[in-house]
A and B are shown apart, each in its own frame.
Chain A
């Protein structure tokens, strides 16, 4: 199996990334080499093996439905690329 430029473009669109033609060509080669390396996993028979889910024992974490942290609105908004009063300002989402 060989990775194509078209697949790289499709994945880039899914990931909201964009590349120049030269970057895209290089990336296709690099990703193809990495994916080929990963094909070594196919040498292992994993029929019936339960996939890994979590490294350690985990119990369901329940707590009272009570506010435990009060986010500092000013500190959070201080990082906003754009804001108005106490709101994040974002580009138009619905045409």
Chain B
């Protein structure tokens, strides 16, 4: 077996038993990238020399240190909106085309401290705004299962890299589904933790009240191991929460007996592909057969979530992206005065979707419209959160599809932003409410494209959704399927 195809936990075992060195594993990953990335285009930047040096250090550390951490020597890909010191960090935007990160994001520092090897920076929709990775200013990433289809987005590069065995695991960010939807499109596992579970320090901000960092992996156990390394309070992020980080691996008992699962009736409506509905219903039936209790629940404001999200997220984005003024970093155009320099720098630096969202957010926050849009949206958001809280009084987890369809064709939705926004219909409520949720493979459609199931948990109860996902994974074989790339 090609070592690049290993899961994180299997690679860890081979490294611990000295069957494999981190240098061999890292070389295997770069070989695989060399063989496949011309077609997939998952990476924006590779860090080969630094990665091989990290791999050597990891091998040396293992010789010295018997009790090595589980990520020691593991090659990991990172979405290009994480600051990585000394490495180009673009957010897939021309405005940051030459930007060299001056420091590490807290989660990157945690990965480095754990001895992980950072392979490279993966492609995304510019500033994480999109659901297909087509909004990258550089090039689109393709779905390893079918190169004519999108990998989902915005963490499309990370999800495609995991699916194509171009890394052992990856990091993404999720503001409205940007980890889970690409994970579903590419047939891998993606976990968005509770808001506040993982530090956002050094993550290039999109919508600060919803952005969250999480793992994209080949199997559920890998996500548990990565989350344990990433989670925890960070003094540099005042919204990170100081709750203890449980050993998530211990939650993976393989048993779902007694767990109460809610299935929201509003998520199974017209617009969903029949194959998706069938796969998710079958998955729920399997969990029920294995001892979980299933009940239909209601999340009555589900149909309003997309509207709420695209007001709140664009309002926050318009404010966050005001910093790109061409003064201290980023692209600066030559204007005849200061104002024209701002305008030209931003006009040349931002792509169409980013501009569209800045416009929408600026409009929603502008004088005379604030109450009608932003305030109204935050009120409905409070109701959406309340309905989740009520459901979780009698459910341990909620099960839904991750996306209404499998990966769509490239170019299919680029001309109609609203249609693109609606591909996030099942994921965005979770960000609005700050909950943890995971997507894992639960089948394939008639075109052999992967289908994802979403498991939503109570705040800070990642352990239960990992337990459920792992038990389902153990009972099925979807996670063992690989694209032929």
Interface residues of A (CB under 8 A from B): 7-8, 10-12, 14-19, 27, 30-31, 33-35, 37-38, 40-42, 44, 46, 49-58, 61, 63, 68-69, 71-72, 75-76, 78-82, 88, 90-93
Contact = CB atoms under 8 A, between A and B. Distances in A.
B307 to A, nearest CB: 4
Given A52-B382, A55-B433, A81-B330, A17 B359 contact: yes
A82 B383 CA distance: 48
Nearest to B85: A75
A58 B239 contact: yes
Contacts of B235: 61, 63, 68
A94 to B, nearest CB: 9
A11 B380 contact: no
A41 B307 contact: yes
B378 interface: yes
B383 A30 contact: no
The residue among A34, A71, A76, A78 with the most chain B CB atoms within 10 A of its own CB is A34
A38 B433 contact: no
B418 A33 contact: yes
A55 B359 contact: no
A88 B328 contact: yes
Interface of B: 85-86, 98-100, 102-103, 194-196, 209, 235-236, 238-239, 241, 301, 303-304, 306-308, 310-311, 318, 322, 325-332, 335, 337-339, 341-344, 346-347, 350, 355-356, 358-360, 362-363, 366, 373, 375-383, 385, 417-418, 421, 432-434, 459-460
Contacts of B342: 16
A91 B433 contact: no
Nearest to A39: B307
Nearest to B321: A15
A76 B433 contact: no
Given A16-B339, A41-B307, A50 B102 contact: no
Nearest to A72: B102
A41 B308 CA distance: 8
Contact of B241 (A52, A56, A81): A56
Given A56-B434, A61-B238, A37 B343 contact: no
Contacts of B322: 15-16
6 smallest CB-CB distances across A and B, nearest first, come from: A55-B434, A81-B332, A75-B102, A51-B378, A79-B329, A46-B379
Given A38-B373, A49-B382, A71-B102, A27 B356 contact: yes
Contacts of B86: 75
Contact of A78 (B102, B377, B432): B102
Given A79-B102, A90-B327, A41 B194 contact: no
Contacts, number: 165
Interface of chain A: mostly helix, strand, loop or mixed: loop
A16 B346 CA distance: 7
B100 A79 contact: yes
Contacts of B363: 7, 11, 31, 35
A18 B338 contact: no
A16 B348 CA distance: 12
A55 to B, nearest CB: 2
Nearest to B102: A75
A58 to B, nearest CB: 7
A92 B339 CA distance: 10
B376 A41 contact: yes
B8 to A, nearest CB: 28
B366 A49 contact: no
A47 to B, nearest CB: 9
A85 to B, nearest CB: 15
A50 B114 CA distance: 43
Nearest to A59: B242
B347 A17 contact: yes
Given A41-B377, A51-B378, A88-B328, A15 B362 contact: yes
B190 to A, nearest CB: 19
A57 B233 CA distance: 13
Given A40-B304, A51-B375, A51-B379, A72 B103 contact: yes
Given A79-B99, A91-B335, A17 B346 contact: yes
A56 B329 contact: no
Nearest to A44: B380
A82 B345 CA distance: 14
B366 A14 contact: yes
A82 B341 CA distance: 13
Contact of A46 (B241, B310, B376, B385): B376
Contacts of B303: 40
